[in-house]
Amino acid sequence: MSNVFEGFLSTPEILEAFGERNFVAAMLRFEAALARAQAALGLIPEAAAQSIIGTCKADLFDAAKIVRESGRAGSLAEPLVRSLKETVGLFNQEAVPFVHLGCTSQDVIDTAMALVTREALLMIEADVQTSIAALCQLAERHADTPCLARTLMQPASVTSFGFTCVAWVAPLTRSMKRLRATASHALQLQLGGVVGTLSQMQGRGPEVAARMAAELQLGVPQAAWHTQRDEWVALGCELGLLSGSLGKIARDISLLGQFEIAEVSEPSEPGRGGSSTLPHKRNPVACMAALAAAQRTPQRVAALLAAMPHEHDRSLGGWQTELAEWPQLLMSVHGSARAMAGALPALRVDAQRMRSNLDAVRASLPRAVADQWFAPALAQHASQLTLAQLARLRKTS
């Protein structure tokens, strides 16, 4: 799932969320909810359900072994269900035939992925909201702080740093709104049985699904989405957009933080951004993590899109590709969100340096050009726009 460099660019929390034990625990939650719903509807004996539910505890299972065996089995669910049946049989042999009744491997894995993804999205949202709050404060504080606007990497005209901060935060607020809306459709129970028809549930499949979804707090799909991946991949696309917006902020801050410009800088503390050779260096490590994510996530999203043409009623390779790419996408996005959430609240802004850079460009221009494009009125106009846009963002977010 991860290596030393993946951990370097991500967070311990997201690595744990997609770790072996947590994912197996999510799969067991599915199995317990399935048994509980089927017993409530009379599809399996209550005693069997209680044996299954009581056994669906992650501590009773060797998650690492289940993962190791999944390669040979071709599915993570097969060794888990086999181990679950063996463990249930130790306590109640008569309950074994009712384990995993009427469903299939993709049901348990997709549902577990939805459960773990929900955890990951909560982490991402918390960190992005920290960045949004910090940027809104910076925009308000520096609404009338004049600075140099740059187009095509060259000096352009005067703006305000607050106006720049609004341009950074607006895509984040839009992204969070879209992400919540998309997640409300994508985070659904998967339950279809071997070919999506729930044929082994005696016509009670939709009721089982409704009960399971309520217990797991997931949406109830109109039908099994074994090969209908549009809403799920749409969530992946939104995550890619969020990563790009965080990367845009990181790109600008890293450029503005260069020694020759020195208008903003990441917070500094012992052990942060140091060089193994040059003691004077303070590298922008938060920007580095966000930029690395912005460069990696497009490939993850592209892989999800490429995997969408599933064959018939169950995919051979496409779904497995998606499963492998999905955690990596979430890990990158959360690494980016956490990095910027750590940097933006304590971002150092040098208003004097901004004014100095602005005056240097202005002094290099003919008087008429300087008066036209660098007049104080232009900075004031940017300030007014900043406060107006900030008010709209706060109203709609």
**How many whole angstroms separate alpha carbon 342 and alpha carbon 177?**
22
Give the pLDDT of residue 373.
Answer: 85
Give the pLDDT of residue 361.
Answer: 94
In contact, 290 and 254? CB cutoff 8 Å: no
Range 104-188+225-397: architecture per CATH: Up-down Bundle (1.20)
Give the pLDDT of residue 282.
Answer: 72
Residue 188, strand partner residues: 219
Give the pLDDT of residue 2.
Answer: 59
Q: Which of the residues 314, 353, 355, 397 is marked catalytic? A: 314
Tokens of 142: 């520096």
Residue 100 neighbours by CB under 8 Å, 6+ apart: 31, 34, 81, 84, 85, 108
Question: In Å, how far are 267, 274, 280 from 277, measured between CA atoms?
Answer: 21, 9, 9
Give the pLDDT of residue 269.
Answer: 66
Distance from first CA to last CA of the chain, Å, rounded?
A: 35
In contact, 20 and 61? CB cutoff 8 Å: no
Q: Which of the residues 184, 275, 356, 364 is marked catalytic? A: 275
Tokens of 333: 């996005």
In contact, 125 and 108? CB cutoff 8 Å: no
Q: Which fold has domain 1-103+190-216?
A: Fumarase C; Chain B, domain 1 (1.10.275)
Residue 158, strand partner residues: 148
DSSP tag of 200: G
**How many whole angstroms separate alpha carbon 198 and alpha carbon 190?**
11
DSSP tag of 61: S
User: DSSP letter string over 97-132?
Assistant: GGTTTT--HHHHHHHHHHHHHHHHHHHHHHHHHHHH
Cα dihedral across residues 253, 257, 260, 261: positive or negative:
positive
Give the pLDDT of residue 397.
Answer: 74
pLDDT tens, residue by residue, 68-79: 999 999 999 999
Residues of the chain with pLDDT under 50: 1, 274-276, 278
**How many whole angstroms separate alpha carbon 135 and alpha carbon 347?**
9
| pTM, to two decimals | 0.94
Give the pLDDT of residue 5.
Answer: 75
In contact, 116 and 18? CB cutoff 8 Å: yes
Cα dihedral across residues 65, 71, 77, 82: positive or negative:
negative
In contact, 333 and 296? CB cutoff 8 Å: no
314 is catalytic: yes
Give the pLDDT of residue 96.
Answer: 98
**How many whole angstroms separate alpha carbon 215 and alpha carbon 65?**
28
Give the pLDDT of residue 272.
Answer: 54
Q: Where are the domains of the chain?
A: 1-103+190-216, 104-188+225-397
Give the pLDDT of residue 327.
Answer: 97
Give the pLDDT of residue 374.
Answer: 83
